[in-house]
Amino acid sequence: MIGRLNHVAIAVPDIQAATAVYREQLGAAVSEAVEQPDHGVTTVFVELPNTKIELLEPLGEDSPIANYLAKNPVGGIHHICYEVPDIRAARDTLVAAGARVLGDGEPKIGAHGKPVLFLHPKDFCGTLTELEEA
């Protein structure tokens, strides 16, 4: 079912400082910061040859990463995202196997403009797992 690792998302308290770590210390290609008010985050993409790292800073009130950063004030890996060819078929297979999908179970349009779902961390090795329709 799952295909490529689309991205690893790292929540950070200061996206400019995090961008400098990746660009200047680790020597990676990084995008400009983009505010995504619909998703409650500001994003920077670190472009690697085979995948990308998504740096996330909270934006506005009720950011979905605010709780994570309250518990992990220096930041940390927030989730990983796998590509699937058909997100509703993936969801139906997982739910039939007993896995929990977060929210109302309907795919939402994610930060990349594609349908996404999040799976319950406790059902997936303690890892918040996003599925994105490729």
User: What tokens does 61 get?
Assistant: 């009130």
Report the distance separating Cα 127 and Cα 31, nearest Å. 26
Q: Give the single-character DSSP code of 33.
A: P
Report the distance separating Cα 30 and Cα 28, nearest Å. 6
Please tell me the count of residues contacting its own copies according to CB under 8 A. Answer: 39
Output Rg (C-alpha) for the chain, integer angstroms.
15
Distance of CA 123 to the CA centre of its chain: 17
Active site residue 130: yes
Report the distance separating Cα 18 and Cα 109, nearest Å. 26
Under the binding rule (CB under 8 A), the answer on residue 5 touching its own copies is yes
Under the binding rule (CB under 8 A), the answer on residue 102 touching its own copies is no
Among residues 31, 36, 77, 100, which is the contact residue for its own copies, using CB under 8 A? Answer: 77
Kindly identify the residues of this chain, within the stretch 13-72, that bind its own copies according to CB under 8 A.
Answer: 18, 21, 24-28, 48-51, 53, 55, 72
Contacting range for its own copies; rule: CB under 8 A; set: 8-16, 37-45, 59-67, 107-115: 8-16
In the complex, which residues of this chain contact its own copies (CB under 8 A)? 1-5, 8, 10, 12, 18, 21, 24-28, 48-51, 53, 55, 72, 74-77, 80, 82, 93-94, 97, 99, 121-127
Q: What amino acid positions are annotated as catalytic residues?
A: 130
